[in-house]
Amino acid sequence: MRVLVISDIHANLAAFETVLADAKGQWDFVWCLGDVVGYGPDPNECCDLLKTLPHLCIAGNHDWAALGRLDIRTFNVDARRAVDWTQKTLTDENTAYLSALPTTFVLGNYTLAHGSPREPIWEYILDPLIAALNFPHFETDYCFVGHTHSPVTYRLINDEGKTEAEAPKYRVHQPLNGQRLIINPGSIGQPRDSNPDAAYGILYVEEAIFEYRRIPYPIQMTQEKMRNHDMPDRLVKRLEHGW
């Protein structure tokens, strides 16, 4: 089975549609690692599109924020404005959809979490040290996470917990080789690694092969919608810079 691995759509329909077009005919199922909504101008459209696909989705912190499950005082001012707008914009149907999302999932040799296996909703795996502390919190060889908006693979090197970070190689089939890995495919809707292109991956499940991908999308289309909804200018501009 081939899985389209996506994360952090963040209500960016133009980016989501571009990824689906780029990967058309190359996957059988979708794993979404959370944050379908938040920041972007298309929360209902992205939920509706995702629901048309054969998929499994887990909850992210912005999904929970839209549901009122998090204290958004911990968010910055711009993010709070986006959360407030999203809460008012979501339909009852899509609010119910987000409410039903699990926080983690295990499928065969793969664990899925938004932030981390240790703290699925909120923890950011930003470096090898944090990754090393998370390996004891899942039993499968591989764990897919999102949340940081930056594609990276963390590899457990030895029994003492030594962990290394590996930058992605795009459009290359990478065998996972049965090693313990934490893999972040990056963000579709709001990349933060100084590359504005939408990020995603293709997983060949039985063969344990993963392929990182990037694809440019019409950023200006999303920005125009955000300005029409009077969203914070900082959130609008960051899309073109990838931060």
pLDDT tens digits, 26-37: 999 999 999 999
Domains present along the chain, CATH in parentheses:
2-241 (3.60.21.10)
Contact 121, 64 (CB under 8 A): yes
What pLDDT shows up at residue 101? 98
Contact 69, 116 (CB under 8 A): no
Enter the tokens of residue 93.
């149907």
What pLDDT shows up at residue 76? 86
List strands edge to edge, sheet with 142-144: 104-107, 110-113, 142-144, 181-184, 152-156, 163-166
What pLDDT shows up at residue 103? 98
Flag residues of the chain having pLDDT under 50: none
What pLDDT shows up at residue 117? 98
Locate all alpha helices (DSSP H) within 167-243, ordered by sequence. Answer: 219-228, 233-241
| Residue range 141-179, pLDDT digits in tens | 999 999 999 999 999 999 888 999 999 999 999 999 989
pTM of the model: 0.96
